[in-house]
């Protein structure tokens, strides 16, 4: 729909700059006008504040924050490339507020309460079970959350829909509370984050800069246990830019450090703590870990915190002032913290011949001597460049600033003397309230300790966003939402280096296991709705990969002038070439032109942070550990990733002992036991002797079940599977279908030899005329995944396998075909024809199974044959490496809704029915772990449609593969299913072509119908589907085999 909002007329750059500055200043002045003040008029404070037993801080409401200002300009106006200034977009958040993890929230009707969201319904990553383990105090239940919902949350860790878990910063509690009781105050967004305006908006953007203003309160007066409305305007300092502040701690966990030629990340810090007691004496306590905090939510002590301890911890301490007095209570106020050692996880070392000869990494624990060494530096990501570059060609200001301040932080002013002058109480905000006053506490009055420490009560953040269409805007962070498709491998953004999925032809370097992309280019812009990218290709790149690693020497070379629109599904970004804003990288030797580096440069010029992606293939790196700090531009292939925030999640998976309760388990089968009284084939053990079995042999001792982890439901009754969607309607009449040739022991047709199948059943499945289950006397195919596994040898296993075969013979649903071998009855290969009205319709899926000697004590092993050529999975539960993710197979945790493998109850048929009915579904997006609860959510439909459309065209390639490759032992079955044109034959190849053409025709129509990914797809997906249709039509045109 066209946007008809009025647009501002173009103005000279100077006028536009002044107008933006005036607009922002006016916005900031109004931003904190009401929430931090009492309801009565206020007068500027002109005297130094004294410590109070209670604290009053009122917090900014969403309404007071966002409603005063509305811009006349259309926030969607798109400047042309080269426009230097980003647009301001400061509208209110969406009417339907979405709460996210790390959001700052306030309590409606209570201006004194502010907290941070720890868990929400929509964030699957926050759903680890038993949340109480993460908190020292008991999680509380809001009155409007039912006891049943609360109990379920305390087990599963998933907040009920419409609730969030909040850690209140102004109270000593963590609470599960309805979203309706909260208002969104601020949203934590960081450089490199991918955001959208709404879930339904196809276009996303990258946060390229953040700015924040804060409300501060003197830390020595902050007492969250006793907050009430009294004199807040005398002590709060409002609208303080974050760049004026620094964290009170010099060393913080997660910070990057450079030591010599090594880069590392601080994992742990240890502080010595000085405490002032009631008699004005000061002691550095013997063991800071024995200090008890008044605020249980404190993770690290700071100046101003109240503590208590045992007298022995004081007596054995180092006394700075006074001496130990047993009559003085062992409690006081922290006046100083000093880091004495840090634990560092070393990440990588400098690249190139200029590095030191010593390759051994530094010690993991560094003490004061090492931290004071001249070669040791802390990387300050919030530091601006002393020497910056001009605006980028696409209008991005590379001199952006990064706000690294969060609610609850303890901070100092970088220049406390300047702050006392600037915030002198004389400034009055437009509504008549004071901005606040900084009263500097001189050290002569505080025993020489710097007590000018402030508590961050609230932040309000603006972010600069570069959108996929190359426009740049400034937005309030609560008006944006994190993009749920951020992990989509098919998404790209401007400035990224991409490669075609097609391999280069012709001679290349003769290096085993390497690959060369046909083309390498730079994304100029993305047409999100159409799933197309505008790309400039490099002329003659010499890029070669070993797996995902780039092999030197690799060069991108010069860019062509022309651009080309390509499908997002035809290209890929590569970890070794594609850098993201916020990545920390090693700059290769001789990558920076010498004239760029100042003569007085000190510190490492080989390590920095990516702050911009140029459209010419060069990236901008800020050398933040160098002095002076400067920005440099280097080709993307001339840097190596040292650290990314994505690395924080590696190795952090929950342990399997998280399970707490046994899952509810029911048998999946509804079979009549009387039908199994007689064996239809004689099974022999490995010694050739017949196996005798009784019904009690069917049951074995049940294993311990586990639950507690979220998984997709994968256990259903066989009669619950909707076979109407699994059987193509064109071949439901078995009487009209001629019987196809049966597979034989040597691959010949039944007319040549009839002993290929051992004791076949008398009746075939009527939907196709094919035998659902056969035991072949041919050897298993060499490409069976488990061909090298030891055969099952125990009598109990063989008896159980025999019974499994009996069930498969009589109870297989339509379009599932199972083959096993007389010589290896522990091996099976299964062919499943994808159900209609799903992205898998008419496509063949082949799965190998292995029943080990421990079967059925352990679930069968399964391997899915993926034929996507590494271009991406077709289902969240079917991995490209062959793994099938199901709790019934033991490859995913079971929970109270889903059954794990249970000896004596679970069967191979259950597994097959689960795959057919619960994996190969219409909306596979929701098969992703934890996503099923969002199935009815409108905001997830666009993401689901994108997943469905790529699953659809990728599985068309499965048909091509199956009909052009030898997929033993299903060659005859595949020919009959797809290529036989006799009356009554399934003719699945024709159906697949017709269905695909119908999708293309509907997708070409210019209407406003919502794309579902199955009946209507994007332009980028049609490019891929047309390609597959051409291949299918080529197959159809080929002569039929006689």
Q: Which residues are known to be catalytic?
A: 885
Q: Which residues pair with 593 in a beta bridge?
A: none
Structure tokens at 224: 């969250």
For 459-495, the DSSP string reads EEEEEEEEETTS-EEEEEGGG-EE-TTTT-TT---TT
Sign of CA dihedral 757, 761, 766, 772: negative
Hunting for tokens 């689901």 — which residue is that?
944
- CA gap 862, 348 in Å, rounded: 38
CA atoms within 13 A on the CB side of 121: 18
Contact 1032, 961 (CB under 8 A): no
Q: Which residues pair with 831 in a beta bridge?
A: 817, 846
Question: If we measure between CA atoms, which residue out of 215, 219, 366 comes closest to residue 301?
Answer: 219
Question: If we measure between CA atoms, which residue out of 893, 868, 892 comes closest to residue 882?
Answer: 868
- CA gap 1004, 545 in Å, rounded: 37
- CA gap 906, 754 in Å, rounded: 34
Geometric angle at alpha carbon 456, from 454 and 462, rounded to 5°: 135
- CA gap 956, 871 in Å, rounded: 13
Give the three-class secondary structure for 701: coil
For 759-783, the DSSP string reads S--SS--TTTSS-SEEEESSPPPTT
What Cα–Cα distance (Å) separates residue 867 from each residue in 49, 759, 958, 967, 996? 72, 33, 6, 12, 19
Q: Which residues contact 538 (CB under 8 A, 6 or more apart)?
A: 519, 520, 521, 522, 556, 557, 558, 559, 560, 617
Give the three-class secondary structure for 520: strand
Hunting for tokens 């793994």 — which residue is that?
883
What Cα–Cα distance (Å) separates residue 848 from each residue in 451, 569, 968, 984? 69, 29, 11, 30
Question: If we measure between CA atoms, which residue out of 712, 710, 885, 900 comes closest to residue 121?
Answer: 710
Query: Containing H/E element for 635?
Result: strand 630-635
Geometric angle at alpha carbon 579, from 574 and 585, rounded to 5°: 120
Q: Which residues contact 1006 (CB under 8 A, 6 or more apart)?
A: none
Helix, strand, coil abundance in the chain, percent, nearest 5: 20, 25, 55
Q: Quote the crossing angle between the two packed helices 1019-1037 and 988-1004, to the nearest 10°.
A: 150
- CA gap 963, 420 in Å, rounded: 79
Structure tokens at 969: 């032992």
CA atoms within 13 A on the CB side of 251: 26
């Amino acid at each position: 729909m066209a946007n008809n909002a009025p647009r501002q007329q173009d103005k000279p750059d100077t006028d536009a700059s002044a107008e933006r500055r005036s607009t922002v200043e006016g916005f900031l002045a109004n931003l904190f006008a009401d929430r931090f003040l009492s309801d009565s008029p206020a007068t500027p404070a002109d005297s130094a504040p004294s410590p109070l037993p209670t604290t009053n801080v009122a917090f900014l409401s969403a309404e007071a924050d966002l409603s005063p200002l509305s811009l006349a300009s259309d926030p969607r106006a798109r400047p042309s490339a080269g426009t230097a200034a980003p647009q301001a977009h400061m509208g209110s958040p969406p009417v339907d507020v979405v709460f996210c993890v790390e959001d700052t929230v306030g309590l409606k009707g209570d201006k004194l309460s502010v907290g941070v969201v720890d868990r929400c319904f929509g964030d699957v990553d926050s759903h680890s079970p038993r949340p109480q383990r993460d908190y020292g105090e008991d999680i509380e239940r809001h009155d409007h959350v039912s006891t049943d919902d609360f109990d379920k949350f305390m087990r599963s860790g998933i907040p009920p829909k419409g609730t969030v878990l909040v850690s209140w910063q102004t109270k000593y509690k963590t609470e599960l509370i309805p979203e309706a009781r909260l208002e969104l105050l601020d949203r934590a967004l960081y450089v490199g984050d991918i955001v959208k305006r709404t879930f339904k908006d196809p276009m996303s953007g990258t946060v390229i800069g953040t700015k924040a203003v804060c409300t501060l309160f003197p830390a020595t007066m902050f007492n969250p246990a006793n907050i009430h409305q009294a004199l807040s305007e005398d002590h709060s300092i409002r609208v303080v830019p974050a760049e004026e502040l620094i964290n009170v701690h010099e060393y913080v966990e997660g910070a990057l450090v450079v030591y010599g030629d090594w880069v590392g990340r601080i994992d742990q810090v240890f502080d010595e703590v000085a405490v002032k007691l009631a008699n004005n004496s000061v002691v550095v306590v013997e063991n800071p870990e024995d200090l008890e905090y008044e605020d249980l939510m404190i993770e690290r002590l700071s100046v101003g915190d109240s503590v208590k301890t045992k007298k022995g911890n004081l007596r054995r301490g180092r006394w700075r002032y006074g001496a130990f007095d047993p009559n003085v209570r062992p409690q006081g106020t922290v006046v100083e913290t000093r880091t004495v050692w840090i634990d560092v996880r070393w990440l990588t070392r400098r690249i190139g011949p200029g590095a030191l000869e010593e390759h051994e990494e530094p010690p993991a624990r560094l003490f004061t001597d090492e931290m004071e060494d001249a070669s040791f530096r802390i990387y300050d990501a919030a530091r601006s460049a002393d020497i910056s570059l001009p605006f980028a060609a696409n209008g991005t200001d590379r001199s952006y600033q990064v706000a690294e301040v969060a609610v609850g932080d303890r901070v100092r002013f970088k220049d406390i003397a300047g702050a006392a002058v600037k915030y002198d109480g004389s400034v009055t905000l437009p509504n008549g309230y004071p901005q606040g006053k900084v009263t500097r506490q001189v050290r002569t009055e505080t025993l020489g300790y710097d007590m000018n420490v402030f508590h961050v009560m609230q932040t309000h953040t603006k972010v600069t966003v570069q959108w996929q269409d190359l426009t740049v805007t400034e937005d309030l962070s609560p008006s944006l939402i994190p993009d749920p498709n951020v992990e989509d491998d098919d998404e790209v953004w401007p400035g990224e280096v991409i490669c075609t999925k097609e391999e280069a032809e012709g001679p290349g370097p003769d290096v085993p296991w390497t690959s060369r992309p046909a083309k390498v280019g730079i994304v100029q812009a993305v047409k999100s709705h159409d799933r197309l990218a505008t790309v400039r290709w490099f002329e003659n790149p010499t890029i070669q990969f070993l797996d995902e690693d780039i092999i030197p020497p690799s060069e991108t070379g010069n860019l062509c002038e022309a651009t080309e629109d390509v499908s997002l599904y035809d290209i890929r970004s590569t970890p070794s070439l594609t850098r993201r804003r916020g990545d920390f990288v090693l700059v290769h030797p001789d990558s920076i032109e010498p004239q760029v580096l100042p003569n007085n440069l000190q510190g490492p010029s080989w390590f920095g942070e990516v702050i911009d992606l140029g459209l010419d293939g060069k990236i901008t790196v800020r050398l933040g550990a160098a002095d002076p700090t400067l920005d440099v531009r280097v080709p993307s292939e001339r840097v190596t990733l040292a650290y990314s925030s994505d690395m924080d999640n590696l190795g952090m998976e929950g342990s399997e002992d998280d399970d707490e309760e046994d899952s509810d388990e029911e048998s999946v089968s509804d079979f009549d036991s009387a039908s199994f009284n007689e064996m239809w084939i004689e099974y022999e053990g490995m010694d050739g002797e017949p196996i005798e079995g009784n019904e009690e042999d069917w049951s074995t001792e049940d294993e311990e079940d586990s639950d507690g982890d979220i998984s997709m439901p994968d256990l259903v009754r066989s009669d619950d599977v909707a076979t109407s969607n699994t059987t193509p309607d064109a071949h439901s009449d078995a009487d009209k279908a001629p019987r196809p040739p049966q597979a034989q022991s040597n691959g010949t047709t039944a007319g040549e030899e009839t002993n290929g199948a051992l004791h076949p059943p008398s009746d075939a499945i009527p939907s196709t005329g094919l035998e659902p289950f056969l035991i072949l006397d041919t050897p298993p195919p060499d490409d069976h995944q488990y061909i090298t596994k030891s055969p099952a040898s125990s009598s109990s296993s063989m008896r159980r396998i025999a019974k499994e075969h009996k069930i498969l013979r009589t109870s297989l649903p339509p379009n599932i075909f199972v083959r096993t071998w007389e010589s290896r009855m522990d091996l099976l290969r299964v062919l499943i024809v994808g159900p209609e009205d799903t992205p898998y319709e008419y496509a063949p899926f082949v799965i190998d199974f292995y029943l080990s000697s421990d079967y059925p004590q352990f679930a069968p092993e399964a391997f899915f044959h993926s034929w996507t050529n590494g271009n991406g999975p077709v289902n969240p539960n079917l991995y490209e490496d062959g793994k099938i993710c199901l709790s019934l197979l033991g490859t995913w945790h079971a929970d109270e809704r889903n059954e794990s493998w249970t000896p004596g109850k679970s069967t191979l048929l259950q597994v097959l029915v689960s795959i057919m009915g619960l994996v190969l579904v219409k909306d596979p997006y929701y098969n992703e772990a934890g996503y099923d609860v969002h199935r009815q959510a409108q905001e997830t439909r666009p993401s689901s449609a994108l997943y469905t459309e790529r699953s659809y065209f990728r599985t068309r390639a499965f048909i091509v593969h199956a009909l052009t490759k030898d997929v033993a032992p299903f060659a005859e079955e595949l020919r009959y299913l797809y290529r036989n044109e006799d009356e009554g034959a399934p003719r699945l190849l024709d159906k697949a072509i017709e269905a695909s053409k119908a999708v293309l025709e509907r997708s070409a129509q210019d209407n406003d119908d919502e794309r579902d990914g199955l009946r209507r797809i994007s332009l980028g997906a049609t490019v891929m589907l047309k390609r597959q249709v051409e291949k299918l039509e080529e197959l159809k045109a080929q002569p039929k085999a006689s």
